[in-house]
Chains A and B, each alone.
Chain A
Amino acid sequence: MTQTVQGSPETLSASHSREGKSKVLTPLSGEPGLYQVTFKDAATAFNGKKFSEIPGKGRMTATISTHLFSLLHHFGIQTCWVKQGPGDNQCIYRHLEMIPLEVVVRNIALGSLCKRFNLEQGQTLKQPLVEFFLKDDAANDPQITEEMIQELNLLPNGVSLKRMKEMALKLNEIFVAYFQATDITCADFKVEFGIDAQGQMMLGDELSPDNFRLRDAQTGEVLDKDVFRLELAELVPTYEKLLARIAQVKPESLKFETLKTYQASVWVNSRKNVLSPESKTILDAIHAFGHSEVTHLEAGKQFQLVIRSANQVEAEKTLQKLSETLLSNPVIEDVHWHVCPVAVNTGEA
């Protein structure tokens, strides 16, 4: 029934209809450079190892992609998408020569990242992480380094990895704000880029919950293809629920306040070589209380702070400055501090 197609479907010849895992592309007759893209009623996961026919899925992925592409157009991002139709499971795309890379942006550690680096599921990353994977089903889409991308000569003329990365982070900023507006956490997403006939880099592929990890910020409810991967819930009703929520969000109302909340603690103690009469007096009292087994005591101060910051690195900078210049006096005191994000409910055990 399905056939694995090497490389991205959009790269295929302009004369024939070709089929990938989730879409069928047919050149539009009489409209050079345009394709009719039909989103299939099929769900695959784990690189095609898990597969199901799901009626109504194509309509949902086409419609949600349309919402997200329109969102990006509102912010002046160029994409392959032209319009939805003629069928409600179809879109018209501009032809792109696709770059065979999957670009993944992660805000929260979930899925394969946790296995690769032994991170805790649901851990908020210090700053958005961009990863590149080679599109090669036979090789299981391996992660790829900048040097290997150069070695394989994967980038078209005029396209740099730095630009792709900047673009991916820009998309992340928009998606995070967009989903946040309806109280959904955008944990990660995957995008693919290509170049048009003029050599202009733009966004290709699809923008559906197949390629995003989305969680209700309050309950942790899973609102993406993980419901199929992990068999948590029915896919189409889940996508319908997501669509109903994002349909409420007006792009013009988005606030790009991407600040997150961090909790910090600062501990201040007398320096080891500085006499602390207070510590000595308390220790003397402990000894008078009959506990001569206590041999050392350090009286100090603790501060609890809440910091609103763009990411962990920025929060750490703020805290370090405060700790070392205001909250402690380096002549007489030692300072230790710790900052961590306020926990986000990811809905995963």
Chain B
Amino acid sequence: MKIGVIIFPGSNCDEDCVDAVRFGMKETVVKLWHNQDDLQNVDAILVPGGFSYGDYLRTGAIARFSPVMQAVAEFSLKGGPVLGICNGFQILTEAGLLPGALTKNTSLRFQCEQVMLTVENTNTPFTRLFQQDEMIQLPIAHGEGNYVIDPEDLKRLEDNHQVVFRYQQDVNGSMNRIAGVCNEKGNVVGLMPHPERNLFENTDSPLWNGAGAQFFESLKSLLAAVT
């Protein structure tokens, strides 16, 4: 199987995602530049974190118009698995592939810390190996992770079980403490925390318990089942 990692001018978590595929999943990885529209027949797409196009206008607003994102939109409409992490999540909401929007943290600070999350939906390509309501610890690093959505859309989101991850405590002001969501089909997932930064367990450190590895193992198990 072949996993694509999108690279925008300003992406800085792309190599972490590449490593997650190469050393975590032990699968083939393809780097896809923002200005190309050929996804090279990859089986899944990772939209990594960092920044894109200076995040001018709004975070993720410009990236959405890049050729590669047009191709990603088509790929997702056909049911292809897409994971957006941090800035990748912001881009997917701006592109309309995920509901809602991400705005400034209520703290007005760039927040860089470990958070506890509940996995609330295990019917996505990236969460299928988690237990329902499993608690995991992942790092966050963002200034604009405050998830906002219309009240009616929020209700629909909750009713459809599209909230995939929820912070256990308020972190950035997100409505209903939402940390990550999926689209209606469940094939597109976005979250603010960084699973690719917590891939391996290190018993000497409380920061490293390998919770992020399950994202990539989930994807691998799904693709192995269908291919």
Contact = CB atoms under 8 A, between A and B. Distances in A.
B61 interface: yes
A329 B61 CA distance: 9
Contact of A277 (B93, B100, B108, B151): B108
A275 B173 CA distance: 9
Contact of B105 (A276, A277, A326): A277
A130 interface: no
A277 B101 CA distance: 15
Contacts of B58: 329
A274 B57 contact: no
Contacts of B108: 277-278, 281
A326 B148 contact: no
B150 A331 contact: yes
Contacts of A331: 93, 100-101, 148-150
Interface string A261-279: 0000000001001111110
A327 B57 CA distance: 7
B196 interface: no
Main DSSP-derived SS at the B contact region:
loop
Interface in A315-349: 326-327, 329, 331-332
Number of chain A interface residues as a range:
10 to 19
Of the listed residues B61, B104, B107, the one surrounded by the most CB atoms of chain A closer than 10 A to its CB is B104
Contacts of A327: 57
Contacts of A329: 58, 61, 94, 101
A274 B148 contact: yes
Nearest to A328: B58
Nearest to B93: A331
A162 B104 CA distance: 55
B224 to A, nearest CB: 36
A274 B174 CA distance: 11
A7 B201 CA distance: 99
Nearest to A327: B57
Given A327-B57, A331-B150, A278 B94 contact: no
30 contacts: A270-B103, A273-B151, A274-B103, A274-B148, A275-B106, A275-B146, A275-B148, A275-B173, A276-B104, A277-B104, A277-B105, A277-B106, A277-B107, A277-B108, A277-B146, A277-B173, A278-B104, A278-B108, A326-B57, A326-B65, A327-B57, A329-B58, A329-B94, A329-B101, A331-B93, A331-B101, A331-B148, A331-B149, A331-B150, A332-B101
Interface of A: 270, 273-278, 281, 326-327, 329, 331-332
Interface of B: 57-58, 61, 65, 93-94, 100-101, 103-108, 146, 148-151, 173
